[in-house]
Amino acid sequence: MEERADLTTWALGDLRSAPLPPRSFDVIQLSFLLERIEHAELVLDRLLQALRPGGLVLLRMRDRDSAYGILDRVIPAWARRLVWRHLVAAGTPGPLPAVYEPLASAGGMHAFCLTRGLLVMDEETATSGPAMGRIGSAAVGLAAKLSRGRYPATHDEITMVIRKPQYHFARLI
């Protein structure tokens, strides 16, 4: 971490208990974290307390409600470890735990933002990671067909820009 010049503050530890001073950050970036941890809502609430009013959360996560997400959840960990090296480039860490709480979906994140008075400024879906290879895309396509489109193969990740309102009384429910 000492070699990284782009970090102003960092902490090593469990985000459920790491010290996060209130209103101390302007931007928080979360990349592929919420779908991999338990108590994701608690972690995100703690991070939001550390965000200044008007601050941004840059969020990128795998979608629980995609064909990739359902495969990642239902395939046992030992089987995912077995095929991991065939799906990704050498040296890629993983496979990571597949927790996928309801928050790790577009609907779950929109509901979370609504209850906390947060504004979703931008949202995009994309396909990346292991779902792009031949084996991965075939498995994802099969999962989409077997689910009759409930879990689409059109994307496997969601990117969102979320803004914390400037004033605490801006929350309308």
Taking alpha carbons only, the member of 61, 30, 51 closest to residue 117 is: 51
Strand order across the 25-31 sheet: 25-31, 51-62, 157-163, 119-126
Residues 70-83 have pLDDT tens digits of 999 999 989 888 88
Contact between 123 and 159 under an 8 Å Cβ cutoff? The reply is yes
Per-residue pLDDT, averaged over 18-34, amounts to 90
Q: What is the rounded distance in angstroms from the CA atom of residue 112 to the CA atom of residue 59?
A: 13
Would the pLDDT of 47 be above 70?
Answer: yes
Q: What is the pTM assigned to this prediction?
A: 0.84
Residues 89-131 have pLDDT tens digits of 788 888 889 999 999 999 999 999 999 999 999 999 998 866 6
The domain spans of the chain are 26-165
